Structure 1
Amino acid sequence: MRKPILTIFYQFNPWNTTIGGIQTLIKNFIKYAPSEFEVRLVGTGCSSSQAVGKWQEAELAGRVISFLPLFTLHNDNIRSLIPTTLKYTSALVGHCFASDFMHFHRLEPTLAALNWCGEKTLFVHNDIRAQMQAGGDKKAILWRKFPAAYFALEKFLLRQFHHILSCNTDAVELYRQRYPTIAERVTYIKNSFDNEIFYPLSKEEREASRCKLASDLGLAEDTHFVLFAGRLHPQKDPVLLVRAFAALNITNVHLLLAGDGELTNIVRTEIERLGLSRQVTMLGAVEQTEMAQLHRISNAFVLSSAYEGLPLVALEALASGTPVVTTRCGETPKILAADTGVVCEERTPQGIADALKQVLLHPENYPTESCLQAAKPYAAHTVIKEVYSQMWQRWNKSN
C-alpha cells in the first residue's frame, strides 16, 4: 500500500534562520513524522540553489522531504510593503497540490485550495478576537483595518476544513460559538516543543555556562540574564519590554533580545534613549540550538505581548528549567503555576518590572523541577505522535 501524503503549506524556508512559533511547529511535524508518511512542504526559497516552482528532495532534521518553493524570500522575519501572505496566496492560485492530508497555518492561502480534494486541517495560532482588538499600530496586522471583511472571508473559507485545531482555548470557544454548524470540527491541540533540544543543565553546568556568556559579552561575572525571544513586531511589543527593563533597575541583570523584525531600529533607538546600551544586548535571529543554550542559562524568560496563542518559546523556557514572566494574554497564564512563573496583572513597564523582580530576587521559589513538570505534557514527541496516530487511523479507515 502506498504511503499517505501530508503536504504542509506555509510561507517560509526551514533551512533559513527564521523566527516564529509556526515555523518551529512545522519543523517539529517534519522531524517527528512517522516513516509511514510521505511529507511535502510548499514554502519559499531563500537562495538561487533552490529552483522556484519545482519539487526537490531535501533533508531536514534527519528526515527526507519533498520541498517546493513558490518564490524567493530572502528574509521572512521582516514585513515588506506587500504582505508575504498575499504573495504566497497569489503564488498558490492556479496550482493544485491536493494530497491525502493538507495542513495550513494561515487562512488566506486556502482560497487557492477550495476545490482541492483531501483532508484539510487549519491550525489557528492566535486568539483572533484579541488580535483584532489589540491596541497599537493597526498596520501591524492589516486585517485590523477591515475586521468585517476578515470575518466574512473566514466564514466562507472555514467550511472546507475537516479539522480546525487551536492551541488557545479561548479561540476554540470563539470558533465553536461563531460557527455552530462546524463546531464539532474545532478542537484544542497542545502546542509542542522539541524535547530533544530543550532540556535543563545541572546547577553546576548552568552556572558555568552563565559565567562564560557574561565573559563573552564583557560583563561582570555575577551578571544574570533575562531572555526575550521572538519577532520584533508590535504583537510582541519589545519596546514595552525595554521600558520595563529600565524600570527594573537591578544592576547585575542583563536583557538578551533574540529576534529580528520591523521594530529592530525602533527598539535599538529606545535602548539608546533610555541609556541601556550596557544592560541590553540585541542578538538578532538566533539558531535553535543556540537559543536552547540561552534558555538554559537565563534566570527568567519574559513576554510583553499584546496577544498570543500559546507561544512555543514559553514552553521551551519551562522545558529548560527557566521560569516565565508573561503579560495576561494567550494560553501561557493558564499553564503557569505559582512556582513556574509570574503573570503581570498590568501590561505596563512597572507591572512587568515588578513581576521580573519576584523571579530574579527569589529564584528559590521557582525550582527547575516545577518548570519541567509544567512543560512535560507539551513535548513534541508525545503531542505530534498522537496527531499522526489519529491521521493514520483515519487513513486506514478510508482505504
Structure 2
Amino acid sequence: MHKPVLTIFYQFNPWHTTIGGIQTLVSLFIKYAPSEFALRLVGTGNDRYQPNLKWQKAEFAAREIDFLPLFTLKNDNVRSLIPTTVKYTNALLGRCFASDFMHFHRLEPTLAALNWQGEKTLFIHNDIHTQMQSAGDKKAILWRRFPAAYFALESLLVRQFSQILSCNSDSVELYRQRYPSMGDRIAYIKNSFDDEIFYPLSQQERETKKRELALTLGLVPETRFILFAGRLHPQKDPLLLIRAFAALNESHTHLLIAGDGELATNIRAEINRLSLTQRVTMLGAMNQTELSKLHCICNVFVLSSAYEGLPLVVLEALASGTPVVTTRTGETPKLLTTDSGVVCSQHTPESMADSIRHVLLHPENYPSVSCVRTARPYAARTVIGDIYTEMLNRWELRTVSAVGS
C-alpha cells in the first residue's frame, strides 16, 4: 500500500527561513511527521542549488521531503511592492499539485487549487475580523484597503476545503457565522512549540547565563532583560513597546529586540528620539536555537501586537519558563494564567509599562514552573502527532472504501 502524500503550500524555504510563526509551524509539521506519510513542500528558492520549478529530494530536520521552489525569494522579512503572496499565487496558477492531503496557510494561493482533487485544509493564523478592520495602519495588510474584495474572494474559495483550522477562537466563530453549512468543517487548533528547543534552565543556570549576557553587552550583572521577538511589522506594533519601555523608566533594565522587517528604521529613529540607545539592543533576525538562548534567561517577554492568532513565540517564551506581558489581542489573553503573565488593560505605552513593571518587581508571582505548565499542552510532538493520527485514520477509511467499491 502506498503512503498517503501530504503537500504543504507556503512561500518560504525551510533551509533559509524568514521570520514568522507560519514558517515555524510548517517546519514542525515536517519535523514531527510520522514515517507513514510522504511529504512534499511547494515553497520558494534561495540559491542556484535548488533550481526553480523542479521537484528535488531534500532533507530537513532529519526527514526526507520532496521540495519544489516556485521562484527565488531572497528576503521576505521586508515587503516588496508586489506582495509575496501574490507572486506565489501567480506561480501556482495553471499547475496541478493535487495529492491525498494539501495544507494551505494563505487563502489566495488556493485560487489555483479549485479543481485539484484531494483533502484540502486551510490554516487561519490571525483574528481575521480584527485584522481586516479599517482602523489603524491600512498598510499592515494589503487586503485591509479592500475588505469587501477579500471576503468576496473568500466566499468563492472557502467551500473547497475539507477543513478550516484556526488557532484563534474568534476567527472560528466568525467563519461558522459566515458559512453555517460548513460548521462541522471549521475547528479550533492549538498552535505549538518545539520542546526539544524551548525548555527552562535551572535557576542557577538562568542567573549565570543572564550575567554573562549582561557582561557581553557591557551592562551591570543585575540587569533585568525584556525581550521582543518577531517581525518588525505594523501587526506586531513594536513602536508601542519602545514607547512603553521609555515610560517604564526602571533602572537596570534592558530591552532586547530580536527580528527584522520594514519598521527597523522607524524603530531605530524612535530609540534615538527617546534617548534609549544605551538601553535597547536590536539583534536582527535570529534562528530558533539562537532565540531559545534568550527566552530562557530574560525576565519577561512582551507581545505588543495589534492583532494575533496565538503566536508561537508566546508559547516558546512560556515553555522556557519566562512570563509574558501581552496586549489584549488574539488567544494569548485566554491562554495566560495569573501566575504566567499579565494582560495589559489598555493598548497604550503607560498600560504596557505598568504591566511590565509589575512582572519585574514581583518575579515570585510568576514562577518558571507555572509558565512551563501553561505551555505544556501545546508541545508540537503531541499537537501535531494527534493531527497526523486523525489524517491517517481518514485516509485509511477512504482507502478501504475505495477498495470495497
> What's the TM-score, normalizing by structure 2?
0.98
Shift in Å, 1:49: 1.6
Which whole-Å deviations, capped at 9, do the CAs of 1:247-266 have from their partners, x for residues lacking one?
Answer: 00012111010011110111
Provide the aligned C-alpha RMSD in A: 0.7
Q: Secondary structure at the match of 1:80?
A: coil
Where does residue 185 of structure 2 map in the other structure? Answer: 185
1:145 equivalent in structure 2: 145
Which runs of 5 or more residues in structure 1 are unaligned? none
Aligned to 1:377: 377
CA distance in 1, matches of 2:78, 2:111: 24
Is residue 168 of structure 1 aligned with residue 168 of structure 2? yes
Q: Give the counterpart letter for 1:319 in structure 2.
A: A
Cα distance between partner residues in 2 of 1:17 and 1:32: 18
Letter in 1 for 2:56: Q
Distance in 2, matches of 1:27 and 1:276, equals: 36
Question: For the residues of structure 1 that align with 2:388 and 2:286, how far apart are their CA atoms?
Answer: 29
Distance 1:60 1:253 in 2: 38
Structure 1 residue identity aligned to 2:367: P
Aligned 1:48-67 pairs, distance under 5 A: 48-67=48-67
Q: Which residue of 2 aligns with 1:34?
A: 34
Amino acid at match of 1:23: Q
CA distance in 2, matches of 1:179, 1:286: 39
> Partners in 1 of 2:99 and 2:255 — Cα distance?
45
Q: Which residue pairs with 2:158 in the alignment?
A: 158
Which runs of 5 or more residues in structure 2 are unaligned?
400-405
- Conserved? CA contact 1:136–1:234, under 8 Å: no
1:91 counterpart residue number: 91
Give the AA of the match of 2:229. A
Query: Which residue of structure 1 aligns with residue 301 of structure 2?
Result: 301
By how many angstroms is 1:134 displaced? 6.0
Q: 1:95-145 CA distances to partner (integer Å, 9 max, x unpaired)?
A: 100010000000000000000000000000001101012632212111111
Show the counterpart of 2:252: 252
- State how many pairs are aligned: 399
Q: Superposition pairs for residues 1-399 of structure 1, below 5 Å?
A: 1-133=1-133, 135-399=135-399
Residues in 2 aligned to 1:268 and 1:57: alpha-carbon distance in whole angstroms: 42
Deviations along 1:186-224, one digit per CA (max 9) or x if unpaired, are 001000000111000000100111011111112111111
| Contact 2:134 2:145 (8 Å CA) reproduced | no
Runs of 4+ in 1 over 4 A off after TM superposition: none
Q: Percent identity?
A: 70
Which digits, 9 at most, give the CA deviation of each residue in 1:4-50, with x for residues without a partner? 10000000111114211100000000000000101111000111221
**CA distance, structure 2, for counterparts of residue 253 and residue 49 of structure 1:** 45
Q: Which amino acid aligns with 2:101?
A: F
Residues in 2 aligned to 1:275 and 1:14: alpha-carbon distance in whole angstroms? 38
| Distance (Å, rounded) in 1 between the aligned partners of 2:56 and 2:352 | 47
Residues 257 and 282, structure 2, Cα contact 8 Å, conserved in 1: yes
Cα deviation per residue 1:299-335 (whole Å; 9 max; x = unaligned)? 0000110000000000000000000000000000001
SS in 2 for 1:7: strand
Contact 1:164 1:186 in 2 (8 A): yes
Q: Is the CA contact (8 Å cut-off) linking 2:319 and 2:375 kept in structure 1?
A: yes
